[in-house]
Amino acid sequence: MGCSIPKKARIRATATASIENQRISDAGSVIVNAGTFVLENRLDFLDVYRMGNYIGHGAYGEVRICFHRETSAKRAVKIFRKDIIRNELSRSRIEQEINILKSLDHPNIVKVHEYFIDTKKIYIVMEYCSGGELFSELIKRNFFSEAKAAQIMYQIFSAVRYLHENNIMHRDLKPENILLEDKHDIMNIKLIDFGTATAKVPLKYSRYLEGTAYYMAPEVALGGYNEKCDLWSCGVIMYILLSGSPPFDGNNDNEILLSSARGLYNITGDPWPKISQEAKDLLSKLLCSADERLSSAQALEHIWITSKTMENTPETEAVELVMTKLKQFHGESKLKDAVHTFIISQFLSFKDAKSLKQVFKKLDLNGDGRLSKEELYKEYLHSMGHTEASALAEKLMKEVDTDSNGFIDYSEFLKATLDIKKIFSAEILKAAFKMFDYDGSGKISAEELKRTLEGGKLIDDCVWDEIIKENDLNGDGEIDLEEFQQSVLAKL
């Protein structure tokens, strides 16, 4: 039920309906997604997290394991030292990395949880991937079979397609920036390190030199490039996965860049005689001029990818179970939906999501990392007629697409299909409550709801009052922890 608006106000609203940012007066129109809860935490980092072992380092600082004190959740934290990042460009890069990561919701892109800024350091807290770098796994194995390499490349192409469709170039794709979620598990990888990625701007030609020489497209070194530079990097990664060595080499960066500019790579020596023509064909369409280079969408449709990845699909029963769960999903109250989104995006473990992730990939026919109405329709056609399948797909988009972007994003899919009771705990519910209880008073006010969920939109105050009223059992105008828990756990 929306807010009650006086007649004169309604007339004024009608007269100004063409204004781009109209005020929202209905709680159902409040948009909540995984990025909603990626916020700056004003507390001291070490009061919220216990520092763990060292993982690695970069130009501006280090990466370490950390543990959420309240829930014991294991995460990774990227720590930037302010004394090293003194210039404005470096600071803006960090801010841009946070903003890009919080806007992304893809099964093969690392999740960011929150960030902290103090007088000496900036902390970006992200999900922890225990399998380490793909580069380290490659060193252990020397090279991968075509089937395994194709599985890896499918995931990379899918993530890159998602980025490009959201007007983002990664610009530093390499095995060191790809993590395995679990030890030796190449079926579940994550792209990381968006420090050189571009923000959401139209994909025109850029002139900034970014990336690592071995993986850098020739046009990047020459000046003037677009998103196709990421596909060159994909080609280099694919070559290395299949052979264990880079296609372009040299004693220094200049020699490597000259070698890549010539575009001549060896596919005659071992192991290339054993590699299929389809693999070589895909390489030739990636390691070529930008004008002739495949897009990520075209690469996903290449026969080498489609033929090598079809066999690794989940059991039919698992897919049917998930489709039934989707069919049974009904939208929740705004507070309950927000809390479920928070828990899914912040506390869902790899183990809890693993089987659902494989089903999601099976349903995602074009590999763009999100589900369309057409993809849902095609899956339901296996068990029902055209009319019923079409109506059900339409209904699901309305129910599950809670941020109304026209797709079911990965987190929305998980929220609709996961048995959320399995990951609920008293500690996680308290962490969710604290996300809203900004002043630490032990109660959530309408103003605190607004701070967390408004997301820069113009939303009438009566919307927040309405949400409070729905969940305020004792009528004191605020939501305490007990009321919060009752609302979130109701009818689970």
The CA-based angle 370-172-121, given to 5 degrees, is 95
C-alpha to C-alpha distance for 63 and 43, rounded to whole angstroms:
20
78 marked ligand binding residue:
yes
Q: What is the DSSP letter of 178?
A: E
| Per annotation, catalytic residue among 26, 83, 105, 172 | 172
Task: Report the 10 Å Cβ neighbour count for 26.
Answer: 15
Query: Helix H segments across 34-130?
Result: 45-48, 88-102
User: Has 281 been annotated as catalytic?
Assistant: no
Q: In what order do the strands lie in the sheet with 132-133?
A: 132-133, 178-180, 189-191
- Under 8 Å CB-to-CB from 357, ≥6 apart: which residues? 107, 188
- Which H or E element spans position 124? strand 121-127
Packing angle of the helix pair 481-489, 334-347 (nearest 10 deg): 90
C-alpha to C-alpha distance for 167 and 178, rounded to whole angstroms:
20
- Which H or E element spans position 110? none
Question: 241-280 burial string, b = 16+ CB within 10 Å, else e?
Answer: bbbeebbbeeeeeeebbebbeeeebebeeeeeeebeebbe
Q: What is the DSSP letter of 301?
A: T
453: β partners:
none
C-alpha to C-alpha distance for 82 and 281, rounded to whole angstroms:
47
Query: Helix H segments across 103-216?
Result: 134-141, 146-165
C-alpha to C-alpha distance for 184 and 7, rounded to whole angstroms:
64
Query: Helix H segments across 72-206?
Result: 88-102, 134-141, 146-165
Task: Report the 10 Å Cβ neighbour count for 147.
Answer: 12
Are 457 and 468 contacting, i.e. CB atoms less than 8 angstroms apart? no
* Residue 42: strand, helix, or coil: coil
Are 250 and 239 contacting, i.e. CB atoms less than 8 angstroms apart? no
Q: What is the DSSP letter of 469?
A: H
C-alpha to C-alpha distance for 319 and 298, rounded to whole angstroms:
26
Query: Helix H segments across 223-349?
Result: 228-243, 253-262, 277-284, 296-300, 303-309, 316-328, 334-347
C-alpha to C-alpha distance for 159 and 176, rounded to whole angstroms:
16
Residues making up the annotated binding site for ATP are 78
Residues making up the annotated binding site are 78
Residues annotated catalytic, as ranges: 172
